[in-house]
Every structure is written in C-alpha cells, then in structure tokens.
Amino acid sequence: MSEKLLVLDNIRMSFGAIEALKGISFSIGKGEVVALLGDNGAGKSTLVKIISGGQKATSGRMIFEGQEYQANTPAEAKAAGIETVYQDLSLCTNVDVVGNFFMGREITRKIAGIPFLDERAMEEITGKALANAGTRIPSLRGKVEHLSGGQRQAIELNRFVHWGGKLILLDEPFAALGVEQTRRGLEMIRHVANQGIGVVIITHIMQQAFQVADRIVVIRQGVVAGDVECSKTNADAVIGMITGQTLAGAGAASN
C-alpha cells in the first residue's frame, strides 16, 4: 500500500449529548482516492470539518505526513496543505467570481509598502482555470449571486484544482453539477491523485465512488462500518454496510 498521508486515530466528536463520531480510525495514502460513504447524518461532514480545522474533535489523534497534526483554524489546515470543498457552498455571493476564486489568497502588488489587489493578474488566472475545466461563466466580474448552483460549485471545485496541496477533501462536490461537468470533475480528481495528492470524496452516488475511488470507507452512526478496496467489493456489499445489513467490520481492508 502507498505511503500514509493522513492517519485518523480514534476520532470522537460530541455535540452536547449527541455523539456524532464514536471513534473513527482509518488512513489515506498519498495519491489515493478514498470515497467516504454513509447515510444522512452518519457523521461524514463532521469528520471533514475536523480534518480541515473548522471544528475541534472531542478526542482522538491525527497524523499528517508522519507528524502529529491538529488544525485550529481552516487557515492552519490550508497552510499544512489540506484543501476543502464544503457541502454547503462556501462562496461570498456579494463578491465577483474572481474575488471568490482568490478568496483569502489574493495576488497583490506593493505600492509604498501597502498591498494592493492585482485585479488583472487574478482575472487572467481565474479565466484560464475555469476555461480549462470547461465551465462557462458569463462574466468573471459579475457577482456570484447571479450564477446558477452548478456554476457556483464549479468555481469551488476549480479553486482546489488550482491551489492543489497535499490532501483534498470534497464534501459532495458534484451535487449541483450537470452530467458533463461531473464527468470532468471525476477526471480532475484522478488527475490530481496521479500527482500524488490524497483525495477524500464524500458522495451518495455509488457509481461515482466506484468510478473514481481506490478505496471505500463507510461510516455508519459515527463508526467505521467498512473499509475496503474498490476492486475487492461491489455496490451491493457497500450498500449493505451503509444500511447496516452487513455486520460492522465485514470486509475490512487488510493493512
């Protein structure tokens, strides 16, 4: 198996009396695509937020590139090389496309020591990145509030491809995308993984998981209910794990 990029060790998360995660342990290798599956409310998004610095786990350990890792803010996770596309869209609709593409990492030019936005450079890069992904957006200078759900998701998706990093977390990234955009999105994921970047993708569509993932991890009611290589399982077995018909732990991956 490929070199470990991120190891999750007994991650627990409680919201008051609700225990959303009850000791999650699995790992992601470099250049590996892991599909994270599970029913609504299983705890997938919560896990993503813990890795990406949005929430702090109640207990547990994470090892990233061989070192103890904990992100207190998304900024720290980004600095470590972890990019995230969240389930609920994370765009500022009151700002234009270019502004959103570069949110938090604007290109600047210093004049008298003061950083000024380099709008032209940012617009050029945004235009290229979106064109490469085949996303058509009427105006890069138009506010995002005028865009369709799919166009918005495309911006987020292309953001991560552009910025790269070491590990990418995608929380239902294709939910609003059309057929062609989804196909390109899946291609993009393979392309990114081939560069040695680890990818975790959450989806409810079994077909997508099998199409793109190397491994499938199933979370059920806050515990890992399955961790199998794609080539060694099939959709029916995975559905069984998701719904709980297969015994927990059945088909666990060999480490």
Partner 1 sequence: MSPRTRKILEFLLNNLVWLMLVVVLALFSALIPNYFQLGIFANIIEASSVLGVMSIGLAIVIITGHMDLSVESVAALSAMAVSILFCSAGIGLGYKLSPEWLMVPVSLAVACAIGALIGFLNGVLVVKLKMSAFIITLASFIWVRGLVLAVSGGRSAQDLAPAIRWFAVERLFGIPLSAWIAIACFLIFSIMMTKTPFGRHLIMIGGNETAAFRAGIPVKRNLIIAFIMAGAIAGLAGWLLSVRTSGATANLGVGLLFNAFAAVVIGGVSLKGGVGALPGVYAGVLLLSAINTAINLMGLPATYTQVIHGLLVLAAVLLDTFKQRLHQRLA
Ligand X SMILES: Nc1ncnc2c1ncn2[C@@H]1O[C@H](COP(=O)(O)OP(=O)(O)OP(=O)(O)O)[C@@H](O)[C@H]1O
For ligand X, which residue of 28, 33, 34, 44 counts as binding (CB under 6 A)?
44
Binding residues for ligand X, total number by CB under 6 A: 12
Contact flag: residue 54 with partner 1 (CB under 8 A): yes
Which residue, 38 or 173, is less far from ligand X as judged by CB? 38
Contact 144, 59 (CB under 8 A): no
Give me the phi and psi of 53, to 5 degrees please. 90, 5
The C-alpha atoms of residue 221 and residue 72 are separated, in whole angstroms, by 25
Q: Cβ 102 to partner 1, closest distance in Å?
A: 9
In 3D space, the residue among 177, 174, 167, 148 whose CA is nearest the CA of residue 29 turns out to be: 167
Give me the phi and psi of 174, to 5 degrees please. -105, 5
Residue by residue, DSSP assigns 114-133 as EEEE-HHHHHHHHHHHHHHT
The C-alpha atoms of residue 69 and residue 52 are separated, in whole angstroms, by 11
Contact flag: residue 160 with partner 1 (CB under 8 A): no
Length of the chain: 255
The interface with partner 1 within residues 7-46 (CB under 8 A) comprises: none
Q: Which does 15 bind (CB under 5 to 8 A by kind): ligand X, Mg ion, partner 1, none?
A: ligand X
For ligand X, which residue of 46, 158, 208, 246 counts as binding (CB under 6 A)?
46
**Sites of contact with ligand X (CB under 6 A):** 15, 18, 20, 38, 40-46, 87
Point out which residues bind partner 1 (CB under 8 A). 52, 54, 73-75, 78-79, 84, 86, 89-95, 99, 103-106, 108, 114-117, 138, 145-146
